[in-house]
Structure 1
């Protein structure tokens, strides 16, 4: 585990402050929030802040605002996708019903902005507000693009644009927030933005890879579920653009076939093997570039951010 447990404990304590009521609505909002998420987003905020500062108390509230937004999106995603399970647990709408789940998500969204109101410096608060609201807009745009891709094949460029919004926006935002709170210079903020864009991309691509070659118990869903659902991931897009016609046709027969057998899913994964290796190279290069972006910071202080970049492409869930 590359994460500092003391920091994670402070992040969890801060989160609990915003959802401590014991009512059906609050319990629904906590159902996923404390179901074993990695806390990578608030953790990135804190690590960015620690590049320049030592006492993290000032950054905790804005850091957890992104985690609250992230969990809001997960609750609503599960409703839109009719998913029954996440992180090995029944989804919020399965346990509490759709109306309560929608409200639980909305509550987390509102609590994120309540957290921002607790930033002591009004100038920093306004800057953080702009960053977070922009990220929320981009997540909605990215999710819409993803849904539209169900009916068409995106290009590699269109796919990367989509994940930079749907997934990347909530990786970039916490790093920008940490930089604002630590009063980083414009040069430092640009370096951090470039780092964040790269690890945001690798985060989603690794999810795409894990769906095909991960372990069902650790990823919390059946291996190959993206194939059953017909998702046009970067792996599939690359394969369609590069496979010989016979393999391409066979892949398209299996992709999106809800009745595909385990053997057919395994066959599709074999067909995709070269494309899996291709995206692993993309992730490796992007990770090296991300760490290069951090070179303007003190070597000791940047170590944990470098470790996170490596963790993202080495993680198993």
Structure 2
């Protein structure tokens, strides 16, 4: 199997189906403001991305049944739900760049700022900083922009969640099976939000490796597990839990590799700043192991730089070097390799050969990717 060729073809089919889905949805939206909002949601959903979740759903289905166009419509639910989670995640993390373009919340921050016609020019005059009301005017506009962009991000995320359910309902599969899929989709969304909660609390309280993977299983893992489960559900003959071990190990490897790319990747390829995880002090496995393995002098430097949004490029380079020297980077590379090995061993031997081969090659892609 030519993995890149197969995924490229399926990616195009998925994106075409998403476009068709939104075209139908927009026909029922009469309000111009809402229409523009839906177009922004569509743009965000189609911006970048590998479409792995819908592709995994399709390949799980095809592992036990002949291809049916209905699975294509059902599969896009997971890209819509993934996009929903990214909008909210970016808003909560105050991220402004994804896939090399502005995030949803950054787009609406720009729109709100332009609508206020706020004039920044007077603040280039030092005299305006002497007056107390000058500072409060800046503070008030910042609070207004933050509130507006965050609020619209939450609404955009909620709408995408609702649309993901609509994609499943409109798939054309038997009503009884669709009902089961909808119950699973709601459970998936609940667990996904629990993962986001655990992520936020880890930022405040810190965490160890066990807590990290508990959070990842909720937040990242669920977006691997349920596309496979629901793809299997629609076959009406496969065990929907047969790929759970595969999805858990694959998603853990995926996230560890993302952690590595978040620090050691190429910004032009990943589409995200490679210093943001360090500046924001994110509790990635790479950071957790660095804090655990670094010596006393290294630890002082790491703690002084980690979470410092004003850290210099030299500071970032120093932390990266410490991550290498103390063994944290090597640990993460070995860990993702272990997860991939276990994932491959967990593939159901009863699946059709084409799907088994796809899932095997997906494992290799996950830890070799540069984005």
TM over 0.5: yes
TM superposition score normalised by structure 1: 0.94
Which of the numbers 321, 344, 358 marks the counterpart of 1:291?
A: 344
Name the residue aligned to 2:46. 34
Note the C-alpha offset of 1:27.
Answer: 1.2
Name the residue aligned to 1:316. 370
Name the residue aligned to 1:251. 302
Q: Are the counterparts in 2 of residues 28 and 101 from structure 1 also a CA contact under 8 Å?
A: no
Aligned Cα root-mean-square deviation (Å): 1.7
Q: Are the counterparts in 1 of residues 270 and 370 from structure 2 also a CA contact under 8 Å?
A: yes
Determine the C-alpha separation between the residues in 2 that align with 1:56 and 1:214. 38
Q: Are the counterparts in 2 of residues 42 and 174 from structure 1 also a CA contact under 8 Å?
A: yes
Note the C-alpha offset of 1:127.
Answer: 2.2
Note the C-alpha offset of 1:3.
Answer: 4.2
Q: Point out where structure 1 has 5 or more consecutive residues left out of the alignment.
A: none
* Alignment partner of 1:82 is 2:94: yes
Q: Compare 299-308 and 35-44 and name the one that shifted more.
A: 299-308
* Alignment partner of 1:58 is 2:61: no
Name the residue aligned to 1:195. 246
Which of the numbers 311, 319, 335 marks the counterpart of 1:282?
A: 335
Q: Are the counterparts in 2 of residues 240 and 248 from structure 1 also a CA contact under 8 Å?
A: yes
Q: Are the counterparts in 2 of residues 68 and 111 from structure 1 also a CA contact under 8 Å?
A: yes
Note the C-alpha offset of 1:197.
Answer: 0.7
Q: Are the counterparts in 1 of residues 229 and 241 from structure 2 also a CA contact under 8 Å?
A: no
Q: Secondary structure at the match of 2:243?
A: helix
- What does the per-residue CA deviation read over 1:231-265, in whole Å, with 9 as the maximum and x for residues that have no partner? 11111112222222221222111111111111111
- What does the per-residue CA deviation read over 1:135-188, in whole Å, with 9 as the maximum and x for residues that have no partner? 1111111111111112222111001000111111111110111111123433xx
C-alpha distance 152-103 of structure 1, shift in aligned 2 (>3 A): closer
Which of the numbers 178, 184, 195 marks the counterpart of 1:125?
A: 178
Determine the C-alpha separation between the residues in 2 that align with 1:184 and 1:156. 37
Q: Point out where structure 2 has 5 or more consecutive residues left out of the alignment.
A: 28-34, 110-148
Please give the residue correspondences for 1:144-293 in structure 2 after superposition, counting only pairs within 5 Å: 144-186=197-239, 189-273=240-324, 274-293=327-346
Determine the C-alpha separation between the residues in 1 that align with 2:68 and 2:305. 50
